[in-house]
């Protein structure tokens, strides 16, 4: 019986035969190509932490959204609980429908169940990471030349508008940090991670820093051989670290009094720790915004604005709902991953958006682990951040997925008992 209620059972075949085959192939390939290789074994799906299952993570984030909304940290938080709960029911129901439909079609075959052992071409991995660094430096240099130094050492107030081609730059920096976690060299690993986080920090890109941190965390959780209890403790520690980091950057970007005034924080919370206020407000206010939009009645579309984020910035049309926001108690613009869907099609849009995500969750649960571990980490991160924005339909997400598919095909070799093969010939 699977430990995950929504995850079909999976066997574990990381036995001596596959490891012996991997070891023999690794030695021969290393001598032939002068590349450094590393081998490892993934755990079976049933041994993964529950937060690595997309449906369990989705439901946990929604419970957190409802809990934070109930705090009413701001004067303009949606006052009733009926509409928020109804949105949750529609979202959870349609996601589960899509998930079970997907898993019923994508029956896992026995060959895929056996894939647990892998060999990593470390040399090719760090070479690709170095190439990503070169591309990133070209874009960073272009921005420095045309717009001056990054916001952290220039004008912090320009963090939203500074620079160009950030839809390419930020995914590259995220890939560099995430892929560095697989590098067997501690020095290279540290340098790549410092490079990525350093430049993201100079850009004051708090959201992308959080995305990068979460992807690294999920990759660690999917690869780690430590016990579940320790992994859950590490998850709590990672959550505390993420909140602390986001609070520090938030305080650098926004003064305390401006924060309290802009978000209309209630007087009884105004002197509470900023870590609490940042976390609760950034989870509850987007959800409240969505509830106000839905409560205003019928849809305003269709405009298909939920697809605008897939376009380059210079091609993105103006927001078709700019005039609508003025008639609502909307703060800060963010309205969860369902904003454009709800404005276009009301509850029907909420239904279809979650149905599509549910179908994707079925693929993630049955096909993504372990051969698509880098892609799995991207979408687990998107699910983790659905309380704030729709990162599923982002051009930067598409670019990162394509980059990581390329890395997986060029660097990972997968083993069955007695067989080792690559997605692409070396």
pLDDT in tens, 59-93: 999 999 999 999 999 888 898 889 999 999 999 99
Cα 409 to chain center, whole Å? 21
Task: Give the containing element (helix H, strand E) for 29.
Answer: helix 16-33
Helices assigned H by DSSP within 330-394: 339-363, 373-384
In a domain, 59, yes or no: yes
Ramachandran angles phi, psi of 119, nearest 5° = -125, 130
Average pLDDT, the chain: 83
Q: Is residue 71 part of a domain?
A: yes
Strands (E), 76-203: 117-121
| Dihedral (CA of 331, 336, 340, 344) sign | negative
- Chain CA centroid to CA 364, Å: 13
Q: How far apart are CA 392 and CA 47, in angstroms?
A: 27
Query: Residue 248: inside a domain, yes or no?
Result: yes
pLDDT of residue 127: 96
Nearest alpha-carbon partner for 268 in 71, 67, 64, 68: 71
Q: Is the pLDDT of residue 425 over 50?
A: no
C-alpha 49: how far from chain center:
17
In a domain, 11, yes or no: no
Kindly report, residue by residue over 251-285, the tens digit of the pLDDT: 666 677 777 888 888 888 888 888 888 889 889 99
CA dist 45 to 115, 162, 238, Å? 11, 42, 22
pLDDT at 179 over 80: yes
Cβ burial of 273 (10 Å; 0-12, 13-18, 19+) is: exposed
Q: What is the pLDDT of residues 292-335, one digit of tens each?
A: 888 876 566 677 888 888 888 888 888 777 776 665 677 766 77
8 near 412, Cβ under 8 Å?
no
Nearest to 94 by CA among 401, 345, 281: 345
- Strand ranges, E, within 22-163: 37-41, 117-121
CA distance 73 to 80: 14
Count of positions (residues) in the chain: 426
pLDDT at 13 over 70: no
DSSP code of residue 47: G
Domain annotation covers residue 7: no
Instruction: Answer yes or no: are the C-beta atoms of 329 and 292 closer than 8 Å.
Output: yes
Nearest by Cα to 181 from 136, 138, 125, 132? 125
| Cα dihedral across residues 267, 268, 270, 271: positive or negative | positive
Q: Give the pLDDT score at 333.
A: 67
The CA–CA distances, whole Å, from 248 to 9, 150, 156, 340 equal 42, 18, 14, 30
CB 39 within 8 A of CB 23: yes
Residue 180 domain-assigned? yes
Q: Is the pLDDT of residue 418 over 60?
A: no
> For residue 306, what pLDDT is reported?
80
Q: Is 113 exposed, middle or buried (0-12, 13-18, 19+ CB in 10 A)?
A: middle
The whole model's pTM is what? 0.85
**Which tokens is 380 given?**
């687990």
Q: pLDDT tens across 344-396, in order?
A: 888 999 999 999 999 999 999 888 888 899 999 999 999 999 988 889 989 99
- What Rg value do the Cα atoms of the chain yield, rounded? 22
What is residue 370's predicted lDDT score, i.e. its pLDDT? 85
The predicted structure's pLDDT at residue 57:
95
Instruction: Record the tokens describing residue 345, joined without a space.
Output: 């099609």
Domain span at residue 344 reads: 16-422
Percent of the chain with pLDDT over 90: 43
Residue 235 inside a domain? The answer is yes
Number of domains in the chain: 1
Answer yes or no: is 251 within a domain.
Answer: yes
Distance CA 49, CA 376 (A): 14
């Amino acid at each position: 019986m699977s430990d995950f209620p929504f995850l079909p059972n999976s066997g574990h075949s990381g036995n001596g035969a596959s490891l012996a085959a991997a070891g023999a192939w690794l030695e021969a390939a290393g001598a032939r190509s002068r590349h450094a290789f590393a081998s490892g074994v993934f755990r079976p799906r049933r041994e993964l932490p529950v937060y690595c299952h997309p449906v369990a993570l989705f439901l946990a984030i929604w419970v957190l959204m409802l809990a934070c909304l109930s705090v009413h940290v701001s004067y303009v938080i949606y006052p009733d609980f009926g509409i928020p709960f109804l949105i949750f029911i529609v979202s959870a129901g349609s996601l589960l429908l899509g998930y079970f439909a997907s898993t019923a079609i994508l029956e896992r075959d026995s060959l895929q169940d056996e894939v647990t052992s892998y060999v990593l071409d470390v040399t090719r991995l760090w070479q690709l990471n170095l190439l990503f660094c070169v591309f990133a430096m070209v874009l960073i240099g272009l921005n420095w030349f045309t717009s001056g130094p990054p916001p952290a050492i220039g004008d912090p107030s320009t963090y939203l508008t500074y620079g160009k081609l950030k839809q390419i730059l930020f995914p590259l920096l995220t890939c560099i940090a995430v892929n560095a976690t697989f590098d067997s060299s501690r020095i290279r690993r540290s340098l790549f991670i410092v490079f990525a986080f350093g430049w993201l920090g100079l850009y004051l890109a708090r959201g992308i820093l959080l995305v990068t941190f979460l992807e690294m965390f999920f990759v660690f959780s999917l690869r780690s051989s430590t016990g579940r209890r320790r992994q859950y403790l590490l998850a709590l520690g990672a959550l505390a670290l993420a909140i602390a980091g986001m609070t520090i950057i938030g305080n650098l970007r926004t003064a305390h009094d401006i924060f309290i005034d802009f978000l209309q924080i209630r007087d009884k919370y105004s002197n509470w720790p900023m870590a609490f206020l940042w976390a609760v407000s950034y989870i509850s206010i987007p959800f409240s915004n969505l509830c106000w939009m839905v409560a205003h009645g019928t849809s305003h579309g269709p405009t298909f604005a939920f697809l605008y984020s897939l376009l380059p910035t210079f091609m993105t049309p103006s927001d078709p709902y700019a005039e609508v926001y003025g008639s609502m108690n909307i703060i800060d613009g963010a309205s969860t991953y369902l904003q454009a869907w709800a404005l276009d099609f009301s509850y029907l849009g909420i239904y279809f958006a979650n149905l599509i995500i549910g179908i994707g969750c079925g693929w993630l649960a049955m096909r993504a682990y372990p051969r698509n571990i880098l892609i799995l980490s991207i979408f687990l991160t998107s699910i983790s951040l659905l309380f704030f924005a729709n990162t599923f339909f982002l051009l930067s997400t598409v670019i990162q997925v394509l980059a990581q598919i390329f890395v997986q095909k060029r660097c990972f070799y997968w083993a069955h008992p007695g067989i080792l093969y690559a997605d692409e010939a070396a």
